[in-house]
């Protein structure tokens, strides 16, 4: 009976790990996973959605640098891949760093809404702890 429970628990754990690790083709993987990991999104990001990227969870800093125009008025939103619930959001008018604490591990995308002024950004996420 104990062996059966162990095997069943192992199979459940294996299945849940596989589901958690599913990511679309082209998902960006961080350099230096863990504290100090960096996701540098391909530049420039304009109005629309970034490529998917994996975060290992924790506190992150989003580094936003507008390209071209000196100021923009955009909203940058972080979502889990294939989910609409907002995990974090920042209003951006100029270059800045934004703290996004308490992110869970998973595959995410950033959505950039530039409004009426054309803007493009260099975006980088760095794990702080």
SS3 58: strand
Q: For residue 74, which of 109, 42, 122, 119 has the smallest C-alpha distance?
A: 119
Query: What are the tens digits of pLDDT across the range 34-47?
Result: 767 888 887 677 77
Task: Provide the pLDDT for residue 18.
Answer: 44
pLDDT band of 107, cuts 50, 70, 90 = very high
- Domains of the chain (ranges, CATH numbers): 26-127 (2.60.120.380)
> For residue range 47-98, what is the model confidence (pLDDT) as tens digits?
778 889 998 888 999 888 887 655 677 888 888 888 877 788 888 777 788 8
pTM given for the model: 0.72
Q: Residues with Cβ < 8 Å from 110, sequence gap 6 or more?
A: 41, 45, 49, 50, 76, 77, 78, 79, 123
Q: Encode pLDDT of 18-30 as tens digits.
A: 444 577 888 888 8
């Amino acid at each position: 009976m104990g062996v059966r429970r162990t095997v069943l628990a192992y199979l459940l754990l294996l299945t849940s790990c596989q589901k958690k690790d599913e990511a679309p083709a082209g998902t960006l993987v961080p350099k230096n996973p863990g504290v100090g990991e960096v996701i540098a999104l391909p530049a420039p990001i304009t109005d629309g959605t970034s490529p998917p990227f994996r975060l290992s969870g924790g506190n992150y800093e989003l580094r936003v640098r507008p390209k071209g125009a000196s100021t923009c008025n955009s909203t940058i939103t972080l979502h889990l891949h294939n989910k609409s619930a907002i995990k974090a959001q920042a209003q951006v008018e100029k270059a800045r760093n934004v703290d996004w604490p308490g992110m869970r591990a998973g595959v995410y995308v950033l959505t950039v809404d530039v409004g009426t002024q054309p803007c493009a950004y260099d975006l980088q996420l760095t794990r702080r702890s």
